Amino acid sequence: MSMGKTVDINENTPHKVSEVICINCKYRWLAVRPVGTLLKDLECPICGAGYVIETGEEINTDEE
């Protein structure tokens, strides 16, 4: 059995990175998610609530 070519996941899955905060428990983290994912669909890793908003912090993931 031969191994296939290694493919960078970023080539096939555009994603967004932003700082978010749970307005339920006030936990902040960097969220990496596929483009098009709604913030209301994110769950806080601490309390499990879906009350996530972006903080407005701009995160640039482009390599220069």
CA nearest neighbour of 31 among 52, 62, 51 = 52
Contact partners, residue 45, CB within 8 Å, separation at least 6: 27, 29
Whether residue 19 is predicted with pLDDT greater than 90 in this model: the reply is yes
Q: Among all chains, which residue has been given the structure tokens 């080539």?
A: 11
Q: What does the alpha-carbon distance between residue 43 and residue 52 come to, in Å, rounded to a whole number?
A: 7
pTM summary value: 0.71
CATH class of 13-58: mainly beta
Domain ranges for the chain, please list them: 13-58
Render pLDDT for 29-43 as a digit per residue (tens, 0 to 9). 999 888 999 999 999
Whether residue 26 is predicted with pLDDT greater than 80 in this model: the reply is yes
